[in-house]
Structure 1
Amino acid sequence: MTDLKSSYDIVIIGAGVGGGALANALAAPGREILMIERGPRLRREPDNWSVDAVFHKRKYAAKEQWRDRDGQLFSPSTYYYVGGNSKFFGAATVRFRKEDFEALQHEGGVAPAWPVSYDEFEPYYARAERLMGTHGEAGLDPIEPPRSGPMPYPAIGHEPEIAWFETKLRKKGLRPFPLPIAIDYHEGGACARCRTCDGFACKIGAKGDAEVRLVNPALAKGGVTLITEAYVHRLVTDASGRRVTGVELDYQGERRTVSAEIFVSSAGAINSSALLLRSRNDKHPQGLGNNTSDQLGRNYMAHNNTAMMAISPFKKNRVVFQKSMAINDFYLANKERPYPLGNVQGLGKLQAGMLTASVKWAPERMMALFAERSVDWWLMSEDLPDPENRVGVDSDGTIRLSYTPNNLKAHGELVKVWTRIMRSLGYPLIVTQRMDIKVSMHQCGTARFGNDPATSVLDTNCRVWDVDNLYVVDASFLPSSAGFNPSLTIVAQAQRTAEHILKELGEPLTVPMPSIRTPEPVLV
């Protein structure tokens, strides 16, 4: 049992990627940081790798319901544990492209420019890759942005089945490359290269999730106290509304209030917005950080995602770890279309039970036959910020996620293009499933950062414009979603915010910033 004090230097709400990365950067003996996690530690147990437990029984998913735009209840695929949603992510740690930081024209509209440039962000990406333990090989991605050095670890390599696809795709003029991925797969590493990584928790601790790579190392540094199974109700401000004075939470059966000099919400783009909305008061009648812009909770994004099975009736796929390759030839304007379509990457090997959990009508035996003959892909396209796509809190406290997908034409064209390519390689049967509102693993954008308090919730250091000592450090800050998992970008931004906080405390963080170099062009 952890003793909870009444006051700390810094309170961080949430022990996922954002909170873990921030705590890791700020942790030091003598500093007093409290991390508050809503869920427990996730036990390492056989069910971590059980298709039935994870996909059918949904043993680890949050036991709560949200409402959609029409008020219909649904069970979201979100996870409350130390490590957050990263406990179940596919471990892809990809930098956004240089173009993602600029205004980028899509078929469905324009993704807005960021208030910081890629060049300014790059040193923090380099630091984030080291923190997460990314494997990859620089210089092979045809649209790779400039970088100051190589990946921390070499690419994990392809199994024969995926190597065959690499050869065939190159013959078609495409430029596949090793997917940057955070798993402990190197000399002395713990990774067993299993088929239960993408979508599963790792029972041997070999995935680079936030608990393993960020939170546990932060605790080891000293100065950080972690409490679990503690629910934060609201943040309380002083009479002026300019400073948060305390956080109200339920912990070990009691309602407690904890004070601090600095408060950080890292509860995820949906729950951070919900927390700030629940914290409304006379000075902030629309929620903390919402007085000027009315942007809090708005511009929710979660990507347009489709899982694809390309099935051959004649060829079995014996691959174990399938998530090793990515294709970015269609990510920007390309020979197929004059606008971006998105990213294609290997999907963790689908198994029969995983399919029947989503496709209820399908016989298990048929899905088993499909699974052993399929190569599986994850197709991801950018969705665009829309102020009407938003997070709210109903009068009964239930989260309402109002979301209408956009930029779907481009995503549909990506699916068609990849279907055509798979069929040309001898995989005539294509089964696809587009992810819906329940899949909230890539949630982002509900408290965008910017240079103008009239159009953003946070400044470029992720501090709430209206409140001097409140920060939001998770995917809420993203002004656009790009077309990749946001985890690495969250870790990078957390490093920027940590530097700012340390300067505010009079303790500058001095980390050498390597110069940027552009990768050598790839000859295909």
Structure 2
Amino acid sequence: MQPDVVIIGSGMGGATLAAALAPTGRRILILERGEHLCPSAWDRDATAIFGKGVFRSDEDWLDGADTPFNPGNYYNVGGNSKFYGAALIRYRATDFEQCQHAGGATAGWPISYADLEPDYQAAEHLYAVRGALGDDPTEPAHSGTYPYDAVPHEADIAQLRDRLKAAGLHPSSIPLGVDLDGWLAAGQTTWDAYPNTCGAKMDAETCALKAALAHPNVELRTRCRVTALRAGTDARIQSVEVEVDGAAETIAAPVFVVATGAVQTAALLLASANDNWPTGLANRSDQVGRNFMNHNCSAVMALHPLRRNGAVYQKTLMLNDFYLGSEDQLPLGNVQMLGKITAPILAANSKLPTWAARWIAARSFDFYAMSEDLPNPDSRVTLKNGRIKLDWQRSNWDAHQRLVATLKQALRRAGFPIVLAQAFDRRTPSHQCGTARMGNDPATSVVDTFCRSHDHGNLFIVDASVLPTSAAVNPALTIAALALRAGRHIEQTEFAA
């Protein structure tokens, strides 16, 4: 079919936008470089996933010192959401405002939380979010309720919640996109970092793409790698160049959407440079690729030698007591449970002997401490001889160290004499964002508040690259909400005739 809209990428942004536009009847073509994940013998094999990396791509990027590294991104239908922890958390209202952090100040967003709240509500319904209102002290206003009750705590996690309350904290349920019964029926594991091949995790393919493809006007093509966008002299995008099984193809359309993730989106726009746009498309501001952010994250393990943890999935609890800061302390970040760490996972990420890994994993309660990384124009994605170079300039690290130290103290008050921490490095993509930032000023931003390129009127960017700040919670729901907002705008402006 000759498409009206070409969407590049089928992750949270691309799939959600397709679902938003599908009811218009316009012809929508989704191009995905990967294929569908199919059930395999490795789906619940922790050694294969965490030790051998069987699902990771073999792609290498360069770091700031030109040293190759494997970034750990996934290329398949549904994007990284097929492996995500399914935490679908709204940004806090203050995340949209100017904010002082230990590592500097953020300028805020060009839209407010109130502007995006209806789309948050709609995204929670599209992704069948399980949650509970009322326990989180930082919770922003909701115009409605969650479509489903929160995923239940296991017995040991319910006891942990009581211990944390007794230590003066305010634990709350993580809003999750998981059909618990369906997930556990396919295997007794957590879902965090495991592939969703059973349809029980509410990812981009399971929810949004399925809804979009229910319409006959929507088509998904896999194994299609877009290598460049082509702009005419009038600045409008005319076509995309695609590699399909080694063969080149050109696809034209009136509207184009890039939704390939913060790094790949920047790389594609830079690779699309031509005589009229010598620094890359959508890059008149010289901001494409800049302001890369990746959350500062650590795994924190709390142990009591005489207390075992029988949880299977564990990831149902979070703490935001340290998120907003206080009179004597700046914001530190979010804490949430990791999916239960088992002996194979622990052995794959440490030098522990098998017996020690088993002993620790049987007793550990595993947390994910996450702090905001601040925008920095020198933290950036570039191309070197056609190869992606990611020079991540980590920021706000002192705040993250204080978050980990504060969490350790709180866990000791809650009855855990042993608390260990390990920071994640650049090989673990912790919510990459920021390389095509949203803003009102075309001189300092890449897209407007509806994710439309300032430079190319028929180009939209709908993924984590547009986020002006990283906040300190998982970005998946915010990406989906922005995609719904962009979809409504496209329908009203591009399809109005």
Query: Could you tell me how far apart the structure 1 residues matched to 2:116 and 2:108 are?
Result: 14
Deviations 1:407-439, CA, capped at 9 Å, x for gaps? 111110111111112223332222221111111
Q: Does 1:43 align with 2:38?
A: yes
Q: Who is 1:403 aligned against?
A: 392
Kindly state the Cα deviation for residue 220 of structure 1 after the two structures are TM-superposed: 0.9
Query: Could you tell me how far apart the structure 1 residues matched to 2:388 and 2:398 are?
Result: 29
Deviations 1:225-258, CA, capped at 9 Å, x for gaps? 1111111110011133x11111001113310000
**3-state secondary structure, aligned to 1:47:** coil
Q: Does 1:324 align with 2:313?
A: no
Kindly state the Cα deviation for residue 362 of structure 1 after the two structures are TM-superposed: 2.0
Q: Who is 2:292 aligned against?
A: 300
Q: Who is 1:514 aligned against?
A: none
Alignment-mate amino acid for residue 278 of structure 1? A
Structure 2: gaps of 5 or more residues: none
Kindly state the Cα deviation for residue 456 of structure 1 after the two structures are TM-superposed: 0.3
Q: Who is 1:419 aligned against?
A: 408
Kindly state the Cα deviation for residue 441 of structure 1 after the two structures are TM-superposed: 4.1
Alignment-mate amino acid for residue 229 of structure 2? L
Q: Who is 1:152 aligned against?
A: 147
Query: Could you tell me how far apart the structure 2 residues matched to 1:90 and 1:383 are?
Result: 20
Alignment-mate amino acid for residue 157 of structure 1? P
Alignment-mate amino acid for residue 246 of structure 2? G
Deviations 1:341-392, CA, capped at 9 Å, x for gaps? 1111111000112122222x22222111110110000000101001000011
Kindly state the Cα deviation for residue 45 of structure 1 after the two structures are TM-superposed: 2.2
Query: Could you tell me how far apart the structure 1 residues matched to 2:431 and 2:87 are?
Result: 12
Taking a change above 3 Å as real, the CA distance of residues 81 and 428 of structure 1, as seen in their structure-2 partners, is same
Q: Does 1:206 align with 2:197?
A: no
Q: Does 1:250 align with 2:243?
A: yes
Q: Who is 1:357 aligned against?
A: 348
Q: Who is 1:446 aligned against?
A: 435
Taking a change above 3 Å as real, the CA distance of residues 452 and 380 of structure 1, as seen in their structure-2 partners, is same
Query: Could you tell me how far apart the structure 2 residues matched to 1:488 and 1:95 are?
Result: 6
Query: Could you tell me how far apart the structure 1 residues matched to 2:466 and 2:154 are?
Result: 37
Contact 1:67 1:400 in 2 (8 A): yes
Kindly state the Cα deviation for residue 398 of structure 1 after the two structures are TM-superposed: 1.2
Kindly state the Cα deviation for residue 334 of structure 1 after the two structures are TM-superposed: 3.0
Q: Who is 1:513 aligned against?
A: none
Q: Does 1:506 align with 2:475?
A: no
Q: Who is 1:110 aligned against?
A: 105
Q: Who is 2:7 aligned against?
A: 12
Aligned-CA RMSD value: 1.5
Mapping for residues 423-434 of structure 1, pairs under 5 Å: 423-434=412-423
Query: Could you tell me how far apart the structure 2 residues matched to 1:452 and 1:29 are?
Result: 31
Query: Could you tell me how far apart the structure 2 residues matched to 1:14 and 1:208 are?
Result: 17
Mapping for residues 230-249 of structure 1, pairs under 5 Å: 230-240=224-234, 242-249=235-242
Q: Does 1:385 align with 2:375?
A: yes
Kindly state the Cα deviation for residue 487 of structure 1 after the two structures are TM-superposed: 0.3
Query: Could you tell me how far apart the structure 2 residues matched to 1:441 and 1:420 are?
Result: 24
Q: Does 1:215 align with 2:209?
A: yes
Q: Does 1:142 align with 2:133?
A: no
Q: Who is 1:459 aligned against?
A: 448
Kindly state the Cα deviation for residue 143 of structure 1 after the two structures are TM-superposed: 1.1
Kindly state the Cα deviation for residue 104 of structure 1 after the two structures are TM-superposed: 1.0
Contact 1:16 1:211 in 2 (8 A): yes
Alignment-mate amino acid for residue 260 of structure 2? A
Q: Does 1:261 align with 2:250?
A: no
Q: Who is 1:373 aligned against?
A: 363
**3-state secondary structure, aligned to 1:27:** helix
TM-score by length of 1: 0.92
Alignment equivalent of 1:164, drawn from 154, 159, 164: 159
Query: Could you tell me how far apart the structure 1 residues matched to 2:408 and 2:25 are?
Result: 57
Which moves more between the two structures, 67-76 or 313-322?
A: 313-322
TM-score by length of 2: 0.97
Query: Could you tell me how far apart the structure 2 residues matched to 1:104 and 1:195 are?
Result: 39
Which moves more between the two structures, 461-470 or 431-440?
A: 431-440
**3-state secondary structure, aligned to 2:43:** helix
Query: Could you tell me how far apart the structure 2 residues matched to 1:362 and 1:168 are?
Result: 29
Deviations 1:101-152, CA, capped at 9 Å, x for gaps? 0001111111221000111110000001001111111122111111101111
**3-state secondary structure, aligned to 1:321:** coil
Alignment equivalent of 1:181, drawn from 166, 176, 183: 176
Deviations 1:306-334, CA, capped at 9 Å, x for gaps? 01111221111101120011111100113
Query: Could you tell me how far apart the structure 2 residues matched to 1:468 and 1:331 are?
Result: 38
Alignment-mate amino acid for residue 344 of structure 1? V
Contact 2:174 2:317 in 1 (8 A): yes
Q: Who is 1:66 aligned against?
A: 61
Query: Could you tell me how far apart the structure 2 residues matched to 1:338 and 1:309 are?
Result: 24
**3-state secondary structure, aligned to 1:196:** coil
Identity %: 45
Query: Could you tell me how far apart the structure 2 residues matched to 1:248 and 1:455 are?
Result: 28
Count of aligned pairs: 496
Alignment equivalent of 1:79, drawn from 74, 80, 85: 74
Q: Who is 1:516 aligned against?
A: none
